[in-house]
Chains A and B, each alone.
Chain A
Amino acid sequence: MTQPIYSFPGGLHPADHKAESNGRPIAAAPLVPRYQVPLRQHAGQPAKAIVHAGDTVLRGQLIAIPDGRISAAVHAPTSGRVVAVGPHPVAHPSGLADLSVVIEADGRDEAVAMMPLAWRDMDPAELREHLADMGLVGLGGAVFPSHVKLAPGPLAIDTLILNGAECEPWITCDDRLMRERAAEVMRGAEIMRHLLGARELLVGIEDNKPEAVAAMQAACAGGNARVVVVPTRYPSGGAKQLVQLLTGLEVPTGKLSTDIGIQVFNVATAYALQRAVELGEPLISRIVTVTGHVARPGNYEVRLGTPIAELIALAGGELPGASGQLIGGPLMGFDLDTPQAPVTKGVNCIIITSADLFPPRPRAMPCTRCGLCAQACPVRLQPYEMYLYARAKDLDKARAYNLADCIECGCCSYVCPSHIPLVDYYRFAKSELAAREREQHAAELARERHDFHSERLEREKREKAERLGRKASERLEAGAVAADDPEAARKKALLEAAVERARKAKEAAAPPANTDHLSPAQQAEIEAIEARRAQAGLGGGSAPAPDEQPDTVAEKT
């Protein structure tokens, strides 16, 4: 065991509420009659379904394939029949429905043939190919496709960090996983090390999980991985903060940790990888903490696609006074729209809320620039300045204060004595900036298209003129055979052609004014009018130029 010698600025010590759910072993959730398996359970493009209503599927069978590089496969959680492929509620902050494969379980839970791999003897490239269709994503919450992270390309990865910090209050799924299945987690980490070619393997765990630390240390014994116990301080489990804690290095802004030779994976991802490689089992289940205002808080190993309502029932149901559910932790999670949504790869925790456990946020007062937010910010931002400009919709200023570096950890909102929902303002400003960038990009494209269009018209005109010119000279040359002085005749013809072109161009440039080409009757009428004007003493004769007319001027100013 090693103590970290580095630290990160700011952070919080909220009540951790781990004891509610970390006392009992992980329980396997029984099969449910119906599974809704969304096609988008990961960052990137949603997977493409390859099954249709009526198909029968087996546990672990591929039901949707990755669409593009940043995407992940989806597999059937159990055996049964596909009853529908269509929009269903999903656990997402937007509350929108998303395309899902609905499977009616047949109860037999038959599996496809799974192929364990002898990974130590395999070339990393070959191994990666096998992994691309296993549906692995980061299970810490970011759900980024793992096969992409395991293929660092030309970048050399020196250090692999396993994230077991689990710094958010209430969540204990990683704690229980490390306590009970440390060996499997470490084997998964070794596979990662093999794939990345990393020299160093560090496991970061907060010191409020002594049992997990002990188990992981035992699993590391004899190997060359190191468990580093970090002080309990939110957000130590943020990837950038954990990198800083364990290595003292900062990930440069706008870059990834791989740019400084570090790759970070959650412990649960390592476990899933171990199963995928050593058992050949794709990602079809995960461990989920069910806690809060519920009868039997605990951790459950749940098939993906299980409706959250079923899982809550398994945990003894909500207690009287329950007010809703949160997905993830209370600092970075989101409010669940409906418990009909299923457990997906990114759902690590379900917290049943009540007014006692989660008192409503008091009414916001004005910012007094007290600076507590800046003291709490792990990124060392000045949240009060970003708030000020986000609220004023001065997006450029908000960006100048490095809004883009905000990790939305919620520390600033947590400590604000004025109870300002600061992170909401940052999310708003970020989405506005993103929208503006999209618009600018679209405008850029439109301009390019317009320029290209104009250029094409221009080119066509030029080409036509050249063609005509060529034809004219060909004709001349044909006629010149008979002529006495062919050179002079050709020059004359060219000159005439040029004069004619110039005349036409002039006509085209200056359309006739309405005072040109007048009939004698019109001319007489004009003269009569002019005479009356002279009599009335208006003089001058000509009408004022149109752009001097008062109403036109008024419009211009």
Chain B
Amino acid sequence: MIGSPFIQREHNSVRLTMAKVMAALIPGTLAHAWFFGPGIFVSLLVCFAFALLFEGLALLMRGCCFKDFIGDGSVLVTAWLFALSVPPLAPWWLYAVGILFAVVVAKHLYGGLGQNPFNPAMVGYAVLIVSFPNYMTQWPGPSYLVMHLPSLAEAFDLVFAGQGAISADAYTMASPLDTVKTLMRAGVAKVDILANPVFGRFSGSGLEWVAGMYLVGGVLLIANRVITWHVPVAFLAAVAASAAVLHAIDPGNNMGPLFHLLTASVMLGAFFIATDPVSGCATPRGKLIFGALAGFLAIIIRSYGGYPDGVAFSILLMNVAAPFIDAYTQPRVYGHAKGGKVGR
């Protein structure tokens, strides 16, 4: 039976929502290309190709509505977020492995669109950083700090044929977060660490601009009502607050809040990854708790964990807690005395 309502909002679909998210990723991606060379376009393309391939195969194997789902755009968003999280110019198979885990394991094995308990892109990222840490630290440096950033054609060669004429040393640099982690561990004074050219005005040189562009894209998402303000605001506030507390306790061994806020992964995480509705919280209060705890955990992992960055792990950890948080943060329904808890 199809009953009322007999009308629905125009220009409203999963596909369009995904398109809006991708549009919001454009400024950050362009900023990335501006500072770190066109390699990102190659890795993005490779990730798109594998994502569509695995998505198509998974849909065919599941035997369900290939036609309806292949074009929903969700897998492209996953691929894009994944591509922005891993170093460009890595060998193609690295992207293939990451996308395989993101799309097939994290998404389709759990039932496909809308069913994944974990953010697929972050699962792909986590698998790679655990399995291939050496590749995952080979980030290109900004054009003005490295000898030679590969051109588009050279980037294709690097991705598909492995290292040819250009040595990785010519374009890679330890990332700002890596630098902080290793040098602080080595006991180098913070003043000396910050003298490293990889640091810009507030955070990573070039990366702080990428982070700024993610912020712009994120604000566009809020303005277009694709996401609500709750998760990003809570996430960023918690990052700033946690970093500020650690910095106040031990300024010599901790970076300040502004450094952490303007790292690319924090902005990408706050607006694009922690806001994933499928794997995150959905109630307003739940979103605030989810965002705040994810931001807090990100800083804790960055400061005390073995990995230089903690955003992906903090969000994956919070994904586990999301249904629980939602159950305890049900809004007060009209006519009810107070918000009830819905036990599971």
Q: Do A and B bind each other?
A: yes
Contact B335 A363 (CB under 8 A): no
Contact A361 B2 (CB under 8 A): yes
Contact A415 B9 (CB under 8 A): yes
Please indicate the chain B residues that have their CB under 8 angstroms from the CB of A255 in the complex.
Answer: 335
Interface positions, chain A 347-379, Cβ under 8 Å from B, are 353, 358, 361-363, 365-372, 374-375, 378-379
Interface positions, chain B 1-46, Cβ under 8 Å from A, are 1-9, 12-14, 16-17
Please indicate the chain B residues that have their CB under 8 angstroms from the CB of A402 in the complex.
Answer: 333, 336, 340
A4–B282 CA distance with the chains assembled, in angstroms:
30
Contact with B along A263-290 (1 / 0, CB 8 A): 0000000000000000000000000000
A6 to chain B, nearest CB (A): 13
Please indicate the chain A residues that have their CB under 8 angstroms from the CB of B278 in the complex.
Answer: 368-369
Please indicate the chain A residues that have their CB under 8 angstroms from the CB of B8 in the complex.
Answer: 361-362, 413-416, 419
Interface positions, chain A 199-243, Cβ under 8 Å from B, are 240
Give the interface SS of chain A, mostly helix, strand, loop or mixed. Answer: loop
Contact B7 A358 (CB under 8 A): yes
Please indicate the chain A residues that have their CB under 8 angstroms from the CB of B336 in the complex.
Answer: 252-253, 402, 405
Contacts A330-B4, A384-B282, A427-B3 given: A414-B9 contact, CB under 8 Å? yes
Contact A250 B16 (CB under 8 A): no
Contact A363 B282 (CB under 8 A): no
A472 part of interface (Cβ distance < 8 Å): no
Contact A382 B283 (CB under 8 A): yes
B131 to chain A, nearest CB (A): 29
Point out the residue from A253, A353, A366, A415 that lies within 8 Å of B6, measured CB to CB: A353
Contact with B along A472-489 (1 / 0, CB 8 A): 000000000000000000
Contact A240 B6 (CB under 8 A): no
Point out the residue from A93, A353, A362, A423 that lies within 8 Å of B5, measured CB to CB: A423
Please indicate the chain A residues that have their CB under 8 angstroms from the CB of B13 in the complex.
Answer: 362, 365, 417-419
A424–B326 CA distance with the chains assembled, in angstroms:
24
B28 to chain A, nearest CB (A): 22
A14 part of interface (Cβ distance < 8 Å): yes
Contact B113 A417 (CB under 8 A): no
Contacts A361-B8, A410-B4 given: A240-B72 contact, CB under 8 Å? no
> Which among B9, B12, B326, B335 has the highest number of chain A CB atoms within 10 Å?
B335
Chain B residue nearest in CB terms to A244: B334
Please choose the segment from A123-131, A178-186, A331-339 that sits at the chain B interface, where 4 or more of its residues have CB less than 8 A away: A331-339
Chain B residue nearest in CB terms to A365: B14
Contact A380 B6 (CB under 8 A): no
Please indicate the chain B residues that have their CB under 8 angstroms from the CB of A334 in the complex.
Answer: 3-4
Contact B331 A332 (CB under 8 A): no
B330 part of interface (Cβ distance < 8 Å): yes
B168 to chain A, nearest CB (A): 39
Contact B17 A417 (CB under 8 A): yes
Chain B interface residue bracket vs A: 35 or more
B343 part of interface (Cβ distance < 8 Å): yes
A317 part of interface (Cβ distance < 8 Å): no
Please indicate the chain B residues that have their CB under 8 angstroms from the CB of A371 in the complex.
Answer: 228, 277, 282
B251 part of interface (Cβ distance < 8 Å): no
Please indicate the chain B residues that have their CB under 8 angstroms from the CB of A365 in the complex.
Answer: 13-14, 68-69, 72, 113-114
B112 part of interface (Cβ distance < 8 Å): yes
Contact A380 B332 (CB under 8 A): yes
> Which among B9, B112, B332 has the highest number of chain A CB atoms within 10 Å?
B9
Contacts A93-B3, A361-B2 given: A366-B17 contact, CB under 8 Å? no
B195 part of interface (Cβ distance < 8 Å): no
Point out the residue from A169, A244, A254, A418 that lies within 8 Å of B7, measured CB to CB: A169
B115 part of interface (Cβ distance < 8 Å): yes
Please indicate the chain B residues that have their CB under 8 angstroms from the CB of A32 in the complex.
Answer: none
Point out the residue from B2, B72, B332 that lies within 8 Å of A424, measured CB to CB: B2
Contact A401 B342 (CB under 8 A): yes
Interface positions, chain B 97-156, Cβ under 8 Å from A, are 112-115
Chain B residue nearest in CB terms to A326: B6
B281 to chain A, nearest CB (A): 9
Contacts A365-B14, A365-B72, A368-B277 given: A382-B282 contact, CB under 8 Å? yes
B57 to chain A, nearest CB (A): 19
Contact B5 A400 (CB under 8 A): no
Contacts A253-B333, A369-B114, A380-B334 given: A330-B343 contact, CB under 8 Å? no
Point out the residue from B2, B16, B332, B342 that lies within 8 Å of A417, measured CB to CB: B16
A411 to chain B, nearest CB (A): 8
A197 part of interface (Cβ distance < 8 Å): no
Point out the residue from B1, B4, B114, B330 that lies within 8 Å of A331, measured CB to CB: B4
A382–B283 CA distance with the chains assembled, in angstroms:
8
A431–B98 CA distance with the chains assembled, in angstroms:
46
Chain B residue nearest in CB terms to A424: B3
Please indicate the chain B residues that have their CB under 8 angstroms from the CB of A400 in the complex.
Answer: 340, 342-343
Please indicate the chain B residues that have their CB under 8 angstroms from the CB of A366 in the complex.
Answer: 112-115
Please indicate the chain A residues that have their CB under 8 angstroms from the CB of B115 in the complex.
Answer: 366
Contact A410 B334 (CB under 8 A): no
A368–B331 CA distance with the chains assembled, in angstroms:
19
Chain B residue nearest in CB terms to A366: B114
A314 part of interface (Cβ distance < 8 Å): no
A433 part of interface (Cβ distance < 8 Å): no
A414–B337 CA distance with the chains assembled, in angstroms:
28
A447–B333 CA distance with the chains assembled, in angstroms:
36
Contact B333 A415 (CB under 8 A): no
Please indicate the chain A residues that have their CB under 8 angstroms from the CB of B6 in the complex.
Answer: 326, 330-331, 333, 335, 353, 358
Among all A-B residue pairs, the 8 with the closest Cβ atoms:
A410-B5, A366-B114, A253-B335, A379-B334, A331-B5, A330-B6, A369-B277, A330-B7
* 4 new A-B contacts at CB < 8 Å, known A332-B5, A335-B6: A331-B5, A369-B282, A381-B333, A419-B8
**16 pairs, CB–CB < 8 Å, chain A vs chain B:** A251-B335, A254-B335, A330-B7, A335-B6, A361-B8, A369-B114, A369-B278, A371-B228, A384-B282, A400-B343, A402-B333, A413-B5, A415-B12, A416-B8, A418-B14, A423-B4
